[in-house]
Chain A
Amino acid sequence: MFVSYKWLQDYVDLSGINATELADKITKSGIEVERVEKKSEGLKGVVIGHVLEREQHPNADKLNKCQVDIGAENPVQIICGAPNVDKGQKVAVATVGAVLPGNFKIKKAKLRGEESHGMICSLQELGFESKLVSKDYATGIFVFPNDVEVGRDALEELGLSDEVLELGLTPNRSDALSMLGVAYEVGAILGREVKWPVVEKEEAAEKATDYISVKVEAKEDNPIYMAKIIKDVKIGPSPLWMQTRLMSAGIRPHNNVVDITNYILLEYGQPLHAFDYDRFGSKEIVIRRAKDAEKIVTLDEAERTLTPDHLVITNGSEPVAIAGVMGGADSEVKNDTTNIILESAYFAGTVVRKASKDHGLRSEASARFEKGVDPARVREAGERAAQLIAQYAGGTVLQGAAEVDGLTMEPAVISITLEKINTLLGTSMTVSVVESIFKRLQFGVELDNETFTISVPTRRGDITIEADLVEEAARLYGYDNIPATLPIGSATPGQLTDYQIKRRKARRTLEGAGLYQAVTYSLTSQEKASQFALEARESIRLAMPMSEERSQLRLSIVPQLLEVVKYNNARQIDSLALYEIGSVFFKRDEQELPEEKEHIAGAITGLWESHLWQGEKKPVDFFVAKGVIEALFDTLGLADQISYRQAEINDMHPGRTAEVLLNGEVIGFIGQVHPTVQKDLDIKETYIFELSLKALAEAEVAPIAYQTIPRYPSTTRDIALVVDQATKAGDIQDIIEEAGGKLLKEVSIFDLYEGDRMEEGKKSIAYSLKYFDPERTLTDEDITKAHDKVLEAVKEKAGAELRG
């Protein structure tokens, strides 16, 4: 809703409050003023000129040479290219030195050999949007009515120096979709009176009902319908002030009758429609639901097919308008129209919404019906429009109206106590403060002790319950005046859940390990949705995706991380370590919500360590990535429960991939992206992992056992074992640990040799074994006994030979 500051002054005294201050007050009271615009800001030097002479430019067909009186001592010569410029017109002249929108400065110029001292302007050149410019002046200069004074500021005459407040209305405040509605609001905020327009009826003796009758067949859809008749009008332009007000509100002027209906729409919030009486086709108006497949050609010349969902105004046989949405072309008011049927009605929001949606016709009028017009103002709005038509289109208003009024309006009556208001708001308003707020809103107030009984006017259909009154009290009292306190009440322990703590630990660990956290999209393409998925399950598709690229819910995070790698690789960033914690979604039954699991995924590529001047470079490999997740498991206290198993997974390097198991259950994988996939993605060698954070966080953790510093010495024995190439170091370690018994406290690998000094197909792995007893010093004999068992076991179970 656009509100002209000047126009508003017709209804409320705004003295002492400028537009910006007013905007601030309105915003603080609950209707957000999104901007305050003064179109003439930065413009200057445009005056009303009088075209004294016009002749063809001697050297250019399409140019006119004009002598224009601009109120200065002598007329000036202006070359003008507008097709409609002519002698005798009053026009807007940008004089030499003027500034037009876009900081366009007007200078003295020579056009094809003729001097030009300024420019005659179109409305577009003065900053009006094309869609607001009347069709009469769409392709030429604007011509003022003849009574404007030469030399005056043209910007002022066009209403451009007015300030316009743009209100961002929330759905509950449709009452402010009119100047009078805004006036009520402003009146309440400022505590000032609202002045209504005075409707002075001047009606002929002839009765409207002799010309037209009204019958409503769909009473629920249309409880109020009033038709006035205005005879002998003369269609022409509306007064300039009305045109500028319409334009300031975003409505294009047409002719006096149409402009007046739009003016009342803006003033009262009541949409009106004018029919050409002589083209109406009958003397009766019948309002009913449309018949199936019934047709109407609307004002925009489109033929529209109707259904019984749509309400139509008919002439008894054919539809002449879609109620509240658009009139028909046949009965349109045209330049030769002389007699008018003026409709003012209350149409139900639902039926108007259905029609405007079905036909794609959303207008200022339909929007107001949809939100509900004030039933109490339907007739008054119609009367005022008729009066204005008589005044500005020279017609005669016939007596009375043909009408149907079947709406029983009772203002809502709501009671509330002062205590309730103060308790909810945390305020200590007095009875008189609250009473004055309701009175400023022009609500009916009855006060019994400290209980208010409020009668709400019909224009405020949004107020129906106690909480609505509390809100009114709060916003007019001012949110600034509500104290700021913190809840006191029973203490509640604030804490993270175990799961949330573990998630944070995971973040800290990966951050500490040098990984950057990424947040990518949950929606992805069909192809990527299930790539690298930990569980091969069906992905979920959106019913109406915005694009194929974002059409499926992801089953894995890795593909998106690889996209990040790709993006960086393409920008010469080769070394990258990323992780993401986020949900993946698995399809269940159609009727059920999907299964959501939180995963943790990483992608590491490029150099892990580099210290160039010392000549050190450590590229990322499998074990770098594995070290990262090992640190994670260690932090979560799960290191003992985790194992790895060589695995073949789609799109992964077949020799460099492992499944990660938690107590024997696969909960993730780690490895290198398959070189072919790397090539397709155009990324360098990249290692990835994806784990179920849910599984990790929900696993039971053995309580931390604290160990004292040993009092007895430990003994270390190193062994180098020669085994088959395919034998897994982890398997041997398991064998050693099992065979070593309780004296064996630690096993670690300290060397791996696969070079040419080994027999073909063999490798050597060196383990360091630490023996220790917390109770005593071990004897050589004890250790040897344990160690021999180990040697025997590895020989037997892994075919390992001790390396000489």
Chain B
Amino acid sequence: MMQERLLELQEEALQKVAAASELKELNEVRVAYLGKKGPITEVLRGMGKLSAEERPKIGALANDVREAIATKIEEKQKALETAAVNAKLATETIDVTLPGRPVNKGNLHPLTRVVEEIEDLFIGMGYTVAEGPEVESDYYNFEALNLPKSHPARDMQDSFYITDEILMRTHTSPVQARTMEKHKGQGPVKIICPGKVYRRDNDDATHSHQFQQIEGLVIDENISMSDLKGTLDVFAKKVFGQDREIRLRPSFFPFTEPSVEVDISCKICGGKGCSVCKQTGWIEVLGGGIVRTSLKWLASIPRNILDSHLESAWNGLPC
């Protein structure tokens, strides 16, 4: 009799759980069936009338019934909660295809980016970055580089003079002389010198009266032309790309001997020849060589000297 009543209650409760559509309703079911005043408690209260034999049986059954109902309520509660959250989130839906909020982002000038890249490359190889004034004395800009005033390669028309003895530097080479004077021949020298230089060129697509140069200088015992070649090779591949071919050819500068010029294969035509490379397939990018021992600022340094004037690399870029 009691047993039947319990099973009946279970059946009844589970139906109500299934039918509940809100948390509130579900809670009412919980209170109604599992509460202290609920029908199951009432049934158990009548257990005193049962035999000692039957009592534990009914007790166990009553617990099973409670458990079954509680489990179902729990399950249902989770389901209802999830549904409620989903319903709320559904109202919060946005249009993800709308554009995002712009972030202000700046940029380095392309020249600076290249210069920093080169600086970092050379710093990695043990160089320091030397700098000097953009307005120079004639001595540092020309005379200290074997270019006395009578030299045919030196025309007043090519430079921006301020007075007879002061001018806008036409290359970064004066920095080498300045560095050496300070250095006084103690230990090796490994520098690169980036900077702005000025020449009397009319500004057009490929010329500018102001442009960027970088050059390097190494002074050490037992360094050679092959070291210069290796260094320029590393440099050119890094700056112009591993896929570009590099050609070294002999050249002439008043401050180096032997001198070298470095060409890279033309990017436009891939080396076949076009108007940019004057049909040669090559573009001249830089020059260098072994510093002439006749240079005044080298007078006190009885060593083999390696120099590389990594110039004209940026000639084409606007300042």
Contact = CB atoms under 8 A, between A and B. Distances in A.
B142 to A, nearest CB: 15
A577 B107 CA distance: 10
B105 interface: yes
Interface in B297-315: 304, 306
A513 B292 CA distance: 47
Contacts of B116: 504
A68 B81 CA distance: 107
A521 B319 contact: yes
Contact of A479 (B102, B135, B221, B250): B250
Contacts of A523: 160, 168, 198, 209-210
Contacts of B218: 487
A492 B202 contact: no
A490 B223 CA distance: 11
A483 interface: yes
A706 interface: no
Given A30-B249, A425-B226, A492-B190, A470 B106 contact: no
Interface in B162-196: 162-163, 165-166, 168, 187-188, 190, 196
B319 A520 contact: yes
Contacts of B168: 522-523, 542
Contact of B104 (A27, A494, A514): A514
Given A484-B226, A486-B125, A471 B258 contact: yes
B137 A593 contact: yes
Contacts of B229: 426, 479, 482-485
Contacts of A504: 116
A546 interface: yes
A172 B103 CA distance: 58
Interface stretch (A495-503, A634-642, A790-798): A495-503
Contacts of A34: 278, 280
Chain A's interface size range is 35 or more
B258 A474 contact: yes
Contacts of B257: 467-468, 470-471
B290 interface: yes
Contact of B226 (A427, A494, A517): A427
Nearest to B225: A425
A656 to B, nearest CB: 21
Given A32-B249, A516-B106, A609-B104, A497 B129 contact: yes
B240 interface: no
A610 B108 contact: no
B190 to A, nearest CB: 5
Given A426-B225, A486-B227, A491-B126, A550 B209 contact: yes
B196 A522 contact: yes
Interface stretch (B33-41, B83-91, B230-238): B230-238
A506 to B, nearest CB: 12
A779 interface: no
Contacts of A613: 98-99
Interface stretch (A310-318, A375-383, A583-591): A583-591
Interface string B246-257: 011111100001
Interface in A594-650: 594, 596, 608-611, 613-614
A546 B160 CA distance: 9
Interface string B96-133: 00110111111111011000100100111111110101
Contacts of B105: 511, 514
Contacts of B111: 519
B188 A494 contact: no
Interface in A533-588: 540-546, 550, 553, 577, 579, 582-583, 585
B226 A482 contact: yes
Interface string A472-485: 00110001101111
A590 B233 CA distance: 44
B104 A608 contact: yes
B210 A521 contact: yes
Contacts of A544: 156, 160-161
Interface string B149-162: 00011001000111
Interface string A516-532: 11111111000000000
A515 interface: yes
Contact of B248 (A480, A494, A495, A591): A480
Contact of B163 (A510, A583, A590, A608): A590
Interface string A95-116: 0000000000000000000000
B224 interface: yes
Contacts of A480: 248
Nearest to A540: B162
Contacts of A512: 106
Contacts, number: 227
A397 B103 CA distance: 89
A494 B133 contact: no
A272 B278 CA distance: 34
Contacts of B15: none
Nearest to B136: A593
A728 interface: no
Nearest to B137: A593
A370 interface: yes
A489 B222 contact: yes
Interface string A431-475: 000000000000000000000000000000000000110110011
Given A426-B225, A523-B209, A494 B249 contact: no
B225 A424 contact: yes
B102 A593 contact: no
Given A426-B224, A474-B258, A522-B196, A542 B135 contact: no
B134 interface: yes
B6 interface: no
A44 interface: no
Given A483-B229, A489-B221, A514-B105, A542 B162 contact: yes
Contact of A543 (B101, B162, B223, B225): B162
A427 B160 CA distance: 42
Nearest to A350: B150
A611 B252 CA distance: 59
B230 A585 contact: no
Nearest to B278: A35
B23 to A, nearest CB: 37
B122 to A, nearest CB: 7
A427 B224 CA distance: 9
Given A486-B230, A489-B222, A519-B109, A541 B260 contact: no
B220 interface: yes
Interface in B269-319: 278-280, 290, 292-293, 304, 306, 318-319
A353 B155 CA distance: 13
B165 A591 contact: yes
B123 A495 contact: yes
A557 to B, nearest CB: 13
Given A522-B134, A609-B102, A487 B223 contact: yes
23 contacts: A27-B249, A171-B153, A425-B226, A426-B225, A427-B226, A471-B257, A475-B258, A482-B248, A483-B229, A485-B230, A487-B218, A489-B188, A489-B223, A492-B127, A510-B106, A514-B105, A543-B161, A543-B162, A543-B163, A546-B209, A583-B196, A590-B163, A609-B102
Given A485-B226, A487-B218, A613-B98, 20 more contacts: A479-B248, A479-B250, A484-B226, A485-B224, A486-B234, A489-B222, A492-B188, A493-B128, A494-B128, A511-B106, A518-B109, A519-B111, A519-B112, A544-B160, A553-B135, A579-B106, A582-B196, A585-B135, A596-B133, A596-B135
Interface of B: 98-99, 101-109, 111-112, 116, 119, 122-129, 131, 133-137, 152-153, 156, 160-163, 165-166, 168, 187-188, 190, 196, 198, 200, 202, 209-210, 218, 220-227, 229-231, 233-234, 247-252, 257-261, 278-280, 290, 292-293, 304, 306, 318-319
Q: Which 4 pairs between the two chains have the least Cβ-Cβ distance?
A: A426-B226, A514-B104, A426-B224, A170-B252
